[in-house]
Amino acid sequence: MLSDKNIAKLSFLDRFKRGVIMSCSVSRDFLLDFGSGSGKFLYQNKSFFKDCAGVEVVPECVSFARRHLGVRVEPDIMRINELISLASFWHSLEHISPEETGEILDAIYKRSSPDIRVVVCVPNIDSLQYAFFREDFAYYDPDSHLQQFSSKSLDNMLWKYGFSKERSFFSLAHSVFGFLQGFMNKFNTAHNYFYYRKKRGIKPAKRAMGGFFLNAYNYLLAAIFLLPSMLFSIYDRVVQIKGGVITVCYKKRV
């Protein structure tokens, strides 16, 4: 459910995103965010750029971003005429078909300044997390993920459309969450129950036991697996190519 309550408050993950774009951006003329959702990311970071806009296909999100947050969100990149200096894909590229991805990246290349940076954050199909958890992988979503990426395949795709890797980033929040929720999924019938119930307030259609006991059970699992998840995250930090989530900054090949 969309809400403007505390939307300006930065979470640990929000701070990570801000740090990435601040480190990557060469010029800060125009920020374009794909899969902008409610517009939270744009709202939190618009002051660092002269102008910004988002691309989002869900009408309710477009309306919320425009009316409640006052940020510009369009349903199609073809409505963006500004010269893009930074484009971001925060867990959105995997939801776009390969054909549409090609059209979007081609449009970005043609509508961008020479010093543009493209930030992409996607689940890693070649990660230790996926190898161990498989269908219990926290970022496993075959119904809505139209593409899957490894670090190499992502680099190859961006290269094809005129962009080369500049640097990669490690997200402790993504790593710890991925391992923690993956372990918990092993002992739950509903995928990512803890995340959807406690973070989004969504109740699964089927429950193995009463809500109170199920919540208590998941808190117990979280307490048990938090330390192992933090320890396994050290691996993600050291071997970033095998991390649960890939976060990469690309620059334009001119």
Main-chain dihedrals φ then ψ at residue 143, nearest 5 degrees: -70, -30
Residue 192 amino acid letter: N
Tokens 């999924």 map to which residue? 185
Report the percentage of the chain scoring pLDDT > 70. Answer: 93
Report the SS3 class of residue 241: helix
User: What pLDDT was estimated at residue 208?
Assistant: 47
Q: Where are the domains of the chain?
A: 12-171+240-252, 177-234
Q: What integer pLDDT is reported at residue 9 of this predicted model?
A: 84
Instruction: For the beta carbon of residue 219, count every other beta carbon within 10 angstroms.
Output: 12
Q: What is the pLDDT of residue 104?
A: 97
Q: Is it the case that residue 72 has pLDDT exceeding 60?
A: yes
Average pLDDT (105-127) is 97
Angle formed by the axes of helices 172-185 and 12-24, nearest 10°: 140
**Helices and strands (H, E) in the chain, number of each type:** 9, 7
User: What is the chain's percent helix, strand, coil content, to nearest 5?
Assistant: 50, 20, 35
> What's the confidence (pLDDT) of residue 8?
76
Q: How far apart are CA 180 and CA 166, in angstroms?
A: 30
Q: What is the reported pTM? A: 0.91
The mean pLDDT of the chain is: 93
Distance CA 135, CA 81 (A): 41
Tell me the C-alpha distance between 230 and 224, whole Å.
Answer: 12
CATH number of 12-171+240-252: 3.40.50.150
Residue 221, exposed/middle/buried by CB under 10 A (0-12, 13-18, 19+)?
A: buried
